Structures are given as C-alpha cells and as structure tokens.
Structure 1
C-alpha cells in the first residue's frame, strides 16, 4: 500500500514551509502573493503523490471546519430529537456536519459545551438555551460569532431566534374545549422559569378571562420538572375530585400529558367523557392510543430549517442585523377533547 504523503513530507521534499504549502493547497496562494511558479510546483507535487489534506487541519488553516454545533437540553426528548434530525439533514445539504450535545437545563453544563464547541472550531452554533446563561450569549454576540437560539431566547438580548407561538397554541386548545361545552378547564404545567412555560400559562389565563370563565383555586397545577411522577399523581387526584371537578385539562408539555394520562387511567377517569384532554406538543403514540390525543403540533421541520437558513446567512455574512421568528402551531383535533 502506498504511504500517505503528509504536509511535512511535501515541505521537506520541496524545501518550502508548511504554511506556504497549506495556503496554496487551500486556494489562497494569490491572496498571500505566493509566486505562480511556487504554486504550480506545490500543486503538481501534491497531485502526483495523491495528497489528501486532513480536514481538521484544512479547517484550521482556512478558519472553517464545515461543522455546526447544536446544544439542546435533552437530545433524547422527542421534540429536540426531531429538531436535531431536521437540522442535521438541512446542514448536510449545504456541506456541514452537526455536532450534538445535551446541557440538561444546566447553566454550567451549557457554558462548558459552548466553550467545547468553540474549541472544536465549529463555524456556528444553534442553541436551545437554559435561559440562565446570559453571559455566554452576550459573549458570543460581542465577538460576532454566528449563532441562532431556538425554542428559548433572551428577550432583552438582541439575537437570532426561532421559536413557536406558545400563547396562540394554548389559546387554540382552550378555545376548542370551550367550543365543545367545557367550562371548568384546568391547566397542568411546570413551575415558572422558562419563557415558553410562562407564555403557555399566559395563553391559558388570557383565553379563560376572554370568555368570562373563572380560574378557581386548584385549576392551575405547577409541577417540579425533577419530581413530575410524584407531583402529577396529587395534581390529577385534586383536579378530578369535588369540589374542583375539572371538565377538561390542557397539559403544557407532551411528557406532562403522558404522565397525566397514566394517573387518569389509574383513577378510572374516562377520557373524554369525564375529563377532556388536550396536549401542547405530541408524542408519536398520541394518535395510536385510545382515545387518540388532541394535540397542539409544533412546526418542528420548519423550525429546524429556519434555524439553519439563518445561521448559513450569518456564516456568509449576508445579514447585518438579527432575525427573529415565531412560527404558528396547529391544533390537530382527535377524540380526547370530546370531538366526534
């Protein structure tokens, strides 16, 4: 087998510095005023010996790695997994590979991952932030490093951002239950912290108030993300028992919906006859179980595509300002809400 020729081999054979050889092989000979004779000499030698540049070394010399970093809270979550697949597919069409990592809603872990990605010379970043990491986001912005925030952002920091219309999505869910005659509607959500969760709560309260429906004590259940399995049991028991007697429940996330459905089944509560159910976001099984679950569908493909499009425009320096998009959701009506 023919020995692979390295940059060092070419340098020793031609008595030309590795830096000059690298510039020529990466098409920057004219830019750096390397003589035509020297350029031809290097190129002919490289072709004769079938020289193939190491991609990482090539990236470092050109200031380009053809890699995009993607940081999400949990890559195993179906929502982020689908976004990651879409981003990877879109990026590959444009010649980029994607490096994935999960930060687990940890500010420190997110900060470490951002630095790790930068150390790996990624060309740009797509981040679903913990929303606790303003310093790193400001640093990326200050250094004019190309990045796009998805799903979550910092309202007071002007950055590229692609998210969904959380308020409109929850509002559509509550409106659907009201249309079907439900008046005592509960809302199961997470404890405040993330912007998306705040917006979904706002969508619920605004729609209830718009229709003159009271939000009684016990109608809203805010659960601890780290203790959902324990807290969901008490929440559902309270909501379906007198004097609360909820007629419908809107769940703020797909995993809250799944946990809530398990508790309703344990209590032998019939969906939708006793309690109607709507989920913000869905899991793949939601259209297969009985009854199928009415869900607010997030435009995952559009979100992933838009994030990559914005990042590519920034990498090509085609934009002077930041871009922000809130994409519309779609309410997919199935039997769980009481619709026939």
Structure 2
C-alpha cells in the first residue's frame, strides 16, 4: 500500500494541511475546527492506517537540510545572540535555520512545534516556556531530534544545554557581600521558569554563606508583562524604607536596564546610594556610567553545543544517550558595585 503523507490526506478530503495536523494531534476543538471535519479526518486516517502518532515520523523521514529554532523573543538580546551563533554554525554544516518566537505563550509554542514539523525540518532547537510537556513527550516518543536550551524540564529526560544559573547568581551576590554590602535586595520575575528559580536560590545561598538571613521584603518578584512599572515600584520600596538596601541584584538584563532608568529618575547614585549587578548583560553595560557588573553567559559555547548535539542526533541511526551540558558563566566586575565599604 502506498504510504500516505499529510498533503495526501488534505488533498483527498479537500481541507488544509494545517487542519489535518491540528486534528490528528488532538487540537481540533481548541482551534475551532468543526466536529464533522474532525470526524472526517479521523475516520479517513484510521481507514488508511494514518494515525496521529505517525505524524512526526512521516515528516522526519526526508532530509530538508533545515532546522527549526523556537525562542521566547527574537528581540531579546540574549536569544538573538544565541540565534546568530546557531545560524552561523548551522550554515557551516549546510543547514538553514527557521526562526520563530513563542512570546512566552505555551499555546503558541505548541503550534510552532507542529508548524515546524509540517515544514519537515530535520530537527528542533527550543527555549521552552516549560509548559508544553505533552509536546516534548510527543517528540521523544517519535524519536524526533530536538535539543532544549536555556530552559528544560527537570523531571523529563531530554537533551539540553543550560548555564549554571545558581552558581552565577551566588558568585555575583557574594561579590557584593565581600565589598561590605550587607543589605542586598533581589529583583526578579515571578516563579515559573527553572533558570529564574535557580538564580533566586543562588542569591539566598550567598546570604546564607555569609550568615545573613534572606528577608522576604528584600525579594521583589514582578510580572514579565508589567515589568516597566513594577521595577519602579520595587526600587522605591527597597530604597525608601528605613532599612534601605545598599545593593540590588537584578535576575535579568532587561530588569537591570529598567532599573538604571528608574534609579536615574529617582536621583539615586550608583554605587554611592545603591550598588547594582545584573545576571546577563546588554552591550551598553560596559559604556554606561558607571559600567554595570554582570554575570556573562557563554553565548558562543551555548550555540555551538546546541548545534553539535542536534546534528549528532540527526545523523545518528541508533539510539544514543541524552546529552546534557551545564556551562559556566563569567563574572564581569565593573564599577557599579563600588569599592570596599568599611564596617
């Protein structure tokens, strides 16, 4: 019997390939595909032995020399840098990279994974929202080559490349403490992503190592969508209180960037009034006044590692062990921390 492909099913039923893909992956209802159309597609698939779990397997048989890259936001400097490295390295190996942004939306990410499969990419690289376990399990079951980076699923064994978020934040917090800063605040995102959780743990561990108690009032967790206004509220609270902080650790570069704007607006001097440090950095952090101390992520090594692992998966015909890499960060010390404070 001739093997059916997605385009064959779509043509025979006079529906779109997208509709076929969504229905066979159990997403017909949420995408408002009519009951009659769903039944027509499902019945045809069963009759011709074209079942949902065969979708990715059928798509991955050919070689398209393309790789799908799904990231939270291509405009984010960290992800755009990593994407650039991945694109250059992939090109050296004869591959083209298809870029897409999920904008931190799990539904969008799931749809992008399906869309990439429909485009018959040879493999996927994903910085996940960590809320699409079902899709990740599907890719694993179908033995479709993919690698996670920056974010991963701790409870789910996969190939991934991350940095040591815990140690990076612990080290930069300890730097502040070693300079005599004892009241260190922490401005971060609300819980949900593993890297953010690890950075908070690193901050708390640094305080513990210096026999300091982590004060809940010193930790400000803010929403990603509202961070412009919430960073200002957080800084006002941390600096206007009677026991004002003498330093602030920002868990991301864009929180730190907004923090600089707020501190200038409030006429607070860095580092005289408050020292600041950032996990990850912007290219301007070394030229603003004062330059900002940052935890630098190894962008090139991340991109190289991801491509190496993925291409090994694509080129392998036998089952291989999952590869996991936890890369070291670098502390770039600049003058936003000030000098040693006498106590």
Same fold (TM > 0.5): yes
Other-structure match for 2:157: 158
Other-structure match for 1:91: 90
CA contact (8 A) 1:123 1:146 kept: yes
Other-structure match for 2:291: 292
Alpha-carbon offset, residue 165 of structure 1: 0.4
**Who wins on radius of gyration, i.e. which is larger?**
1
Other-structure match for 1:135: 134
Residues 1:65 and 1:218: Cα distance change in structure 2 (over 3 Å): same
1:228 aligns with 2:209: no
Alpha-carbon offset, residue 319 of structure 1: 6.0
Paired residues for 1:181-260 under 5 Å? 181-260=180-259
Residues 1:167 and 1:62: Cα distance change in structure 2 (over 3 Å): closer
SS of the residue corresponding to residue 113 of structure 1 reads: helix
CA distance in 2: counterparts of 1:264 and 1:303, whole angstroms: 33
Residue by residue over 1:195-231, the C-alpha shift from the partner in whole angstroms, topping out at 9 and shown as x without a partner, is: 0110000001111011111223421000011111111
Deviation beyond 2 Å, 4+ runs, structure 1: 214-217
Alpha-carbon offset, residue 170 of structure 1: 0.3
Residue by residue over 1:9-58, the C-alpha shift from the partner in whole angstroms, topping out at 9 and shown as x without a partner, is: xxxxxxxxxxxxxxxxxxxxxxxxxxxxxxxxxxxxxxxxxxxxxxxxxx
Other-structure match for 1:168: 167
Other-structure match for 1:280: 279
The TM-score normalised by the length of structure 1 is 0.81
Task: Say how many residue pairs are matched.
Answer: 281
Other-structure match for 1:333: 333
Residues 1:220 and 1:61: Cα distance change in structure 2 (over 3 Å): closer
Residues 1:273 and 1:61: Cα distance change in structure 2 (over 3 Å): closer
CA distance in 2: counterparts of 1:254 and 1:212, whole angstroms: 28
Other-structure match for 1:17: none
CA contact (8 A) 2:60 2:144 kept: no
The TM-score normalised by the length of structure 2 is 0.80
Residues 1:260 and 1:166: Cα distance change in structure 2 (over 3 Å): same
RMSD of Structure 2 on Structure 1 (CA): 1.4
SS of the residue corresponding to residue 221 of structure 2 reads: strand
Other-structure match for 2:124: 125
1:111 aligns with 2:118: no
CA distance in 2: counterparts of 1:61 and 1:127, whole angstroms: 17
Alpha-carbon offset, residue 233 of structure 1: 1.2
Residue by residue over 1:274-313, the C-alpha shift from the partner in whole angstroms, topping out at 9 and shown as x without a partner, is: 1111000000110010000000000011001000000011
Other-structure match for 1:18: none
Gaps of 5+ in 2: 1-58
CA contact (8 A) 1:87 1:304 kept: yes
